[in-house]
Structure 1
């Protein structure tokens, strides 16, 4: 034992400040071997000591399981083969480009987080802190920094494998959110406002829509930070986890998906010096069919991304219309036999939703009749955006077709959100939507909320004032977007055509003289004091003149 410790100390003193090279790598391997032998000897010594202690006292000692900070997984679990290959590639790249044995921060940012530097720096530091223990052997070329005993820009291969295995094992939204909150809060019980801002922008940058617009989403993402921080500079990480789970539970879904995708395929792309030509398809984020019909402020891509994080999947993954149940919902056997149905299923599984513009007050006019004409008859989920003064923007998500009724309606996926200047879900649940324009004796207009004493949102029949928790704001504009499939829009168009045909048929009804004489409408008109001309029914009128 003393000889091994002496050799280790001499190696560390010799290579404390020397740069790494091939000779240093061999020395490093020798150092690791000696360290391994030292551990075996120490373990054998402890075992002998425990045996003697047991013999002296005659009792079975408590078995102590060492807890290592270098791994959060079981020691018996081996990392996947693709992670082992990736770690080897990163170590080789670090040795070739930076002349250091290990994984440098520059290599980590270049190949693992190349499109998200904010996430890369935070994640690299978090891995070193939690998976590369304080007592880990120092690599050759190590230099002490601030007396902390470890280098913050060089990651060991075992630590990388342990961290990567832990990351790809995060399956639920709650586990993923908890992990990334720890990464950006430096594993503290409190998280600062700046750290939350970095988390928001890192999550947004990992989404494909972030690279398809020139407008900055500062105000939109800042609304989430403002609402989550609740006017404070620091909040508890448990409170933040609860708030995000309630208001936007899929906030880090794209961030985690992008990182796991890189960890899975990077060992191939780095080895062959190739990059993916196309970004991974972000099929969960809806696409606007007519972006020009919406203002950039109301439906910015960042806002669509946030809604995808908050809304139920019904609005981003609509179910097909029940036009042909036998074809759209076949059994497994029919699915395998019919290639057309199989192809339709595959296309619908990878294609993003296209939100269709149904009504825009700037284009169609701000009127309750125009709103009813363009929205009614659409048999699928809709999103209604109400823009009010002082930068207030509200969203009403309805999972059922709009109706004129004196009763509340809506399914389990109905939701009302306040988007700006603060982002939060203000109401959710079934039967929270009320819309009445024709029934007398009942309140008119639009009402949202389950509490009859304090509605979450109300809109008068003249479309002039919108009240949020009884606070009035002057209405600026209204937009309604359809979230259903293409069959929903076709169904609405067919309904409009039938209504037009029925109206034309009623106009073409011919009434002869005998039918008009017995018609009750004739007597009602005469009782009102008006005598109409019936010249078209008089066949013997002299000269064809009409008499009154």
Structure 2
């Protein structure tokens, strides 16, 4: 069901004035009044008229009902998402206030137009929560299972044209649900609980690039540096650890700027540290949260994250064997770094690495003059190895 909207100035379509319907739950912003908004913004729902007639005819043909049934609505509008279609239909039915078991054509058209007129993301989010809570008030209470269904449907819709899908989506959704509410006991599973969460972002855009994986490239800091440095874009680093009692945790470090080695903490205002498992929670966000140093002596070595330099949230040792997370020791299971920029950034990184390789090859084949060779340390090493006349080869 697409939102087919046509905007026109007042009076430009006089012949269709009887079909103009304006529904809006948004409050006017700035100095614009509601009258001005209605004057300047007129919505035509001609496609809804056609859709209503088609669904009404199909319902009458199949079920001998003069209206639109849930079966026809779901079968023809949401063939691949029947569970969502069923919930959405009963949301429209409940919102209409009708006592009938189906929607007649005028009521269906009215409810669909009202839904399509919502232009505010926050309002749409509230509606989808109500779809899964089976309520039309502002309480927006859902059960644990309904919340999981909502997250799963959001994931399926966002990844509909992307392959492959995430192998850990069930665990991820469980962690997200746990972070929203306290897990109830089995006897309380069907009771309502307050919902307080914010949906944002996409699971894994198809243009993201895997820069480094400890499983694929080796668990060593020099391997991470080789694969990550030079990528001039935002990145996300995942650390998966296991404690001595087999408790597994997953943390995420997000950086909007490229990684580099320094003796000081660095990072943009949107640098972030998030716990993903066993629960999802934002730990810290702000500038200068990141630290990476393997070269500069006299300063801490390894990878760190957190604004408290004396007690960072995440502290990976230089060996990449263990990590301190919020003061607790963990054995590193995997570390991954994903590049979140467009594909051109990955190509630029590869170009930089190719240039570095070529420059290194040039340095290897540089010919030394006789004067340079006389003072070169390699000459003395060769003489110690028993080749004292090697230095005269150039003069022969």
Return the TM-score normalized by structure 1: 0.56
What is the rounded CA distance, in whole Å, between the counterparts of 2:156 and 2:269 in structure 1? 31
Q: By how many angstroms is 1:483 displaced?
A: 2.9
What is the rounded CA distance, in whole Å, between the counterparts of 2:157 and 2:111 in structure 1? 20
Show the 5 A alignment for 1:147-296. 150-151=99-100, 153-187=101-135, 189=139, 190-207=141-158, 208-209=160-161, 213=165, 217-232=169-184, 234-237=192-195, 240=196, 243-244=197-198, 248-250=199-201
Return the TM-score normalized by structure 2: 0.75
Partner of 1:383: 236
1:101 aligned counterpart, secondary structure: coil
Partner of 1:281: none
Looking at secondary structure, tell me which structure has more helix per residue: 1
Partner of 1:85: 50
What is the rounded CA distance, in whole Å, between the counterparts of 1:420 and 1:172 in structure 2? 32
Over 3 Å counting, the alpha-carbon distance change for 1:220 and 1:461 in structure 2 is same
CA contact (8 A) 2:208 2:343 kept: no
CA contact (8 A) 1:72 1:131 kept: no
What is the rounded CA distance, in whole Å, between the counterparts of 2:194 and 2:221 in structure 1? 45
What is the rounded CA distance, in whole Å, between the counterparts of 1:101 and 1:200 in structure 2? 35
Aligned counterpart in structure 2 of residue 111 of structure 1, from 69, 76, 79: 76
Structure 2: gaps of 5 or more residues: 1-22, 26-33
CA contact (8 A) 2:212 2:224 kept: yes
Over 3 Å counting, the alpha-carbon distance change for 1:123 and 1:211 in structure 2 is farther
What is the rounded CA distance, in whole Å, between the counterparts of 1:78 and 1:400 in structure 2? 43
CA contact (8 A) 1:132 1:156 kept: no
Between structure 1 and structure 2, the one with the greater Rg is 1
1:370 aligned counterpart, secondary structure: helix
Deviations 1:98-121 (A, max 9, x none): 111221111121123322222222
Q: By how many angstroms is 1:192 displaced?
A: 1.9
Show the 5 A alignment for 1:123-522. 123-133=88-98, 150-151=99-100, 153-187=101-135, 189=139, 190-207=141-158, 208-209=160-161, 213=165, 217-232=169-184, 234-237=192-195, 240=196, 243-244=197-198, 248-250=199-201, 305-307=202-204, 316=205, 353-389=206-242, 390-452=247-309, 454-512=311-369, 514-515=371-372
Partner of 1:326: none
What is the rounded CA distance, in whole Å, between the counterparts of 2:44 and 2:60 in structure 1? 22
Q: By how many angstroms is 1:534 displaced?
A: 4.6
CA contact (8 A) 1:381 1:399 kept: yes
What is the rounded CA distance, in whole Å, between the counterparts of 1:418 and 1:398 in structure 2? 15
What is the rounded CA distance, in whole Å, between the counterparts of 1:79 and 1:515 in structure 2? 83
What is the rounded CA distance, in whole Å, between the counterparts of 1:79 and 1:161 in structure 2? 12
CA contact (8 A) 1:132 1:159 kept: no
Across the two proteins, how many residue pairs are aligned to each other?
Answer: 343
Aligned counterpart in structure 1 of residue 389 of structure 2, from 535, 540, 547: 535
CA contact (8 A) 1:358 1:481 kept: yes
CA contact (8 A) 1:79 1:162 kept: no
CA contact (8 A) 2:374 2:391 kept: no
What is the rounded CA distance, in whole Å, between the counterparts of 2:44 and 2:357 in structure 1? 66
Partner of 1:260: none
CA contact (8 A) 2:24 2:118 kept: no
CA contact (8 A) 1:380 1:399 kept: yes
Q: By how many angstroms is 1:419 displaced?
A: 2.7
Deviations 1:421-476 (A, max 9, x none): 32333333333221111112222211122344553322111111223322222101
What is the rounded CA distance, in whole Å, between the counterparts of 1:372 and 1:385 in structure 2? 15
Q: By how many angstroms is 1:95 displaced?
A: 1.4
Structure 1 stretch displaced more, 86-95 or 204-213: 204-213
Over 3 Å counting, the alpha-carbon distance change for 1:493 and 1:448 in structure 2 is same
Structure 1: gaps of 5 or more residues: 1-70, 134-149, 251-304, 308-315, 317-352
What is the rounded CA distance, in whole Å, between the counterparts of 1:211 and 1:374 in structure 2? 25
CA contact (8 A) 2:236 2:253 kept: yes
Q: By how many angstroms is 1:128 displaced?
A: 1.9
Deviations 1:222-246 (A, max 9, x none): 2211111133565424xx1xx31xx
Over 3 Å counting, the alpha-carbon distance change for 1:172 and 1:472 in structure 2 is farther
